Amino acid sequence: MALTPEQLNQIDYSNAIDEKRNQYNLIMETRRAKIEFIRMARETLIENARNKPVSDREVTAEEIINFAAALEKFID
């Protein structure tokens, strides 16, 4: 049994919607992963800073970003 042109169009439309949804989900998952890398980097650097003298405990945003990038690179 062959599909009608209307049914084929509906299938194509449904596939296009699914493809867009999958692309969006991939983008959002990538963002969530990056946020998690930043969170892990921040927590790790702050915890490691506790072993330093009080005057040296400052953790900068640049250090967090660099460490998060290293984590991301390691995972990939």
Taking alpha carbons only, the member of 16, 76, 3, 70 closest to residue 40 is 70
CA distances from 65 to 17, 20, 45 (A): 35, 30, 11
pLDDT tens for each residue of the chain, 76 residues long: 789 999 999 999 999 999 999 999 999 999 999 999 999 999 999 999 998 888 888 999 999 999 999 999 998 7
Q: Considering all CA atoms of the chain, what is the largest pairwise distance in Å, rounded to the nearest integer?
A: 78
Indicate whether this model's pTM tops 0.75.
no
Q: Delimit the domains of the chain by residue range.
A: 33-76
Enter the DSSP assignment of 62.
H
